[in-house]
Chain A
Amino acid sequence: MTTRTMTLDKTKTPALFEAIRRHRVLATILFLFVLPWLTPNYSVAAHILIFGLYALGFNLIFGYMGMLSFGHSAFLGIGAYTAGILIAQHAITWWLAIPAAIVVSAAGALVIGALAIRTRGIYFAMVTLALSQCVYFLIYQMPASGGENGLRGVNVPEVNLFGLTIDVLDPINKYYFFFCFVAISLWLISRILASPFGHAIQAIRENETRTRACGFNVENTKLITFVLSGAFCGLAGALNGINLSSVAIETLHYETSGLVVMICLLGGMGTFFGPIVGALLFLLIQDVFSLWTEHWQLYVGGIFIFFVLFFPKGVWGTILEKLHVD
């Protein structure tokens, strides 16, 4: 009988990576802080920031809890349309509209989650898909949403903070405005994951029956996680609406749900930094390739297949694995 021993061979793991692992929030925030200077243009940086947040929210359910949802575009959309309608049609300021968006998407997640949690595996994916398509239909038919034309007029030209007026039409200012929200979210997510609740989430992924046997209320945990996930995705949606000054109905389409799944997988699900890496890779590749050729879908799809075949843990997951960091 052999016993496997895990040795924490500190000499193999560079001290830098140890530090990063310990202070993952700070490291991620720092990375996102300098991101605009690393990307070819500012709009893709803002996109990475926003979709990174979307992916982080989704990762709570997908990576940490192990449940594949194909309907998360619903929360992105509910958040976007809530903030959008409040700003464009009711002249509500951003610091009320954005929290409202978070609350409404969380509420939506509560409803959808309560219905979907009863199913598992591929069926869970399908129920979430079906329910998100119902949300798509409902919002499409709402006159306030603008339907296919989209919701225009989500204009936040300037932000008044502590007496300072910041021109948010300037791409740099806009980026750091979103950055504040994302940084706070990152910190929150990290705290959630590090808490006992966070460990319960991962325990459910590893072995649901045993977690239940240990006395955890699995259904409640799943639902709460789903709601949290919906809240963060709703925030991402609101920020996206402000970023583009409009909300497109495509935000609610199942392709947007599929997009976040791809991003998480590409980056490395179940890792903290993975979703951001995934967003970075996917959006950058798509951006660069669409500039080169009209057949960019061929290359993006091909690269995606390549990653699925050879980097199953995602880029960041594989990097972590190679460095023996667990």
Chain B
Amino acid sequence: MDGFMLQLLGLQLFTGVALGAIYVLMAVGLSLIFGMLTVVNFAHGAFFMVGAYVGYLLYQYVPNFWICLVAVPVLTGLIGIVVERYLVRPLYGRGIDYPLLLTFGLGYVMVEVIRIIFGKQGLPVSTPDALQGAVDVFVGPFPLYRLFVIGVAVVVLLILWLFIERTSFGLIIRAGARDPMIVRVLGVDISRVWLVVFAIGTGIAGLAGYLSAPMQGIAPEMGTNVLIVAFVVTVVGGMGSLTGAIVAGLLIGIVESLAAFMYPEASKVSMFIIMALVLLVRPMGLFGRAGLMS
């Protein structure tokens, strides 16, 4: 393979990683929520979209990209808290199907509410000046903003890892994912834990939406595509496993990128093929634990 093709391949790999960054953020939230609450959050894409819109709205009053960057996940997380407390929690104990279906309907409602408030047309969002332009990453020019997105994803994952591995609250989360019953027997108020986990998961989704906005603009439907990818990534990685979400997110991003290179029409279906293959060989996902939600 000559140098040109190698370069092109390298650039394609880079874009795959950038793509994976957003997927990882979404999948991490989904995985957390599933791992702790055993809730399959079908509204996750809607939270992604809401985050983008919240960022847009906030920007009108506080025109600072960086402040909004920090504020958006917090605000989205707050919305997540309300949803968990009043819509999801009443369904505890009814089996896995009900919260799934509730969040399914919730997704529709959230999209429609945004349509009513902001209109059906998308809204333009421009890249912040400091992050515009392309950077030479040895294999070719690459948009600076996408590098930034990769950076933010890494930072968020680091913070999350520290939180889960090094704090006592994180300890409860890990324990609760392994055995919720015991955690309650030990006297921990599990509902508070759920609230926080749901907020973190949806907050990260909102952040992903805010980060995506300069790349594709915002529209009420922007969450639906991302949702399905997030599911595929979460399942391939293993529901409830954060390592799995990271590995699978990168894997799928890179595969999609390479598929676009070789057989572009199939780039969208490539992730489903991967998912089918992985699940047939390892039915619980790459890093999932057998018996979890069977």
Contact = CB atoms under 8 A, between A and B. Distances in A.
Contacts of B111: 297
B101 A126 contact: no
Given A123-B284, A308-B101, A115 B276 contact: yes
Given A121-B294, A123-B235, A141 B284 contact: no
Given A115-B280, A309-B91, A265 B97 contact: yes
B112 A297 contact: yes
A130 B272 contact: yes
Contacts of A119: 279-280, 283
Which size bracket describes the interface of A in this complex? 20 to 34
Contact of B283 (A118, A131, A297): A118
B91 A308 contact: yes
B283 A265 contact: no
A118 B280 contact: yes
Nearest to A304: B105
Interface in B36-82: 40
Nearest to B269: A137
A295 B108 CA distance: 10
A127 interface: yes
A179 to B, nearest CB: 30
B279 A265 contact: no
A305 interface: yes
Interface residues of B, number: 42
Prevailing SS type, chain A contact patch: helix
B275 interface: yes
Given A122-B96, A130-B272, A295 B115 contact: yes
Interface in B104-118: 104-109, 111-113, 115-116
A127 B282 CA distance: 11
B134 to A, nearest CB: 33
A298 B115 CA distance: 10
A300 interface: yes
Interface SS majority for chain B: helix
A5 B228 CA distance: 47
A262 interface: yes
B142 interface: no
B230 to A, nearest CB: 12
A130 B91 contact: no
Contacts of B279: 119, 123, 126-127, 130
A156 to B, nearest CB: 32
Contact of A298 (B91, B112, B265): B112
Interface in B253-286: 265-266, 268-269, 272-273, 275-276, 279-280, 283-285
A155 to B, nearest CB: 30
A258 to B, nearest CB: 7
**Residue from A68, A126, A134, A254 having most chain B Cβ neighbours under 10 A:** A126
B90 interface: yes
A5 B115 CA distance: 54
A253 to B, nearest CB: 10
B102 interface: yes
A298 to B, nearest CB: 4
Nearest to A305: B105
A198 interface: no
A28 interface: no
B239 interface: yes
A312 B90 CA distance: 11
Interface in B203-235: 228, 231-232, 235
Nearest to B285: A123
A212 interface: no
Contacts of B94: 312
Interface in A168-195: none
A315 interface: no
B208 to A, nearest CB: 21
Interface string A43-79: 0000000000000000000000000100000000000
A261 interface: yes
Contacts of B235: 122-123, 126
11 contacts: A119-B280, A121-B294, A126-B279, A134-B276, A137-B272, A258-B104, A265-B101, A298-B109, A298-B112, A301-B109, A309-B91
Given A265-B101, A297-B111, 5 more contacts: A120-B283, A297-B109, A298-B109, A304-B104, A305-B102
> What are the 4 A-B residue pairs with the smallest beta carbon separation, nearest first?
A301-B108, A304-B105, A298-B112, A301-B109
